[in-house]
Amino acid sequence: MSAVSVRNSHGRMVKMESVPATVAKNTFGAILDRAVAGGIVAITKRDKPKAVVLSMEEYQALQSRAANPLQELHGEFDALFASMQSPRTRAAGSKLFATSSAKLGKAAVSGARKRG
Any idea where the domains of the chain sit in the sequence?
A: 2-65, 69-115
Around Cβ 44, how many Cβ atoms within 10 Å? 18
Confidence of residue 28 (pLDDT cuts 50, 70, 90): very high
SS3 18: strand
- pLDDT at position 109 is 93
Residue 41 buriedness (CB in 10 A; 0-12 / 13-18 / 19+): buried
Rounded (5°) CA angle 65-77-73: 25
Res 84: pLDDT:
82
What is the gyration radius of the CA atoms in the chain, in angstroms? Answer: 27
| CATH T-level fold of 2-65 | YefM-like fold (3.40.1620)
What one-letter code names the amino acid at 13? Answer: M
Q: What is the pLDDT confidence band of residue 29, given thresholds at 50, 70 and 90?
A: very high
Cα distance between residue 97 and residue 83, in whole Å: 19
More confident residue, 66 or 43: 43
Amino acid 105: pLDDT: 92
Cα–chain center distance at 111 = 34
Taking the whole predicted model, whether its pTM rises above 0.75 is answered as: no
pLDDT in the model for residue 2: 58
Q: In terms of pLDDT, which residue wins out, 15 or 86?
A: 86
The pLDDT tens digits of the residues spanning 76-109 come to: 899 888 888 888 888 888 888 999 999 999 999 9
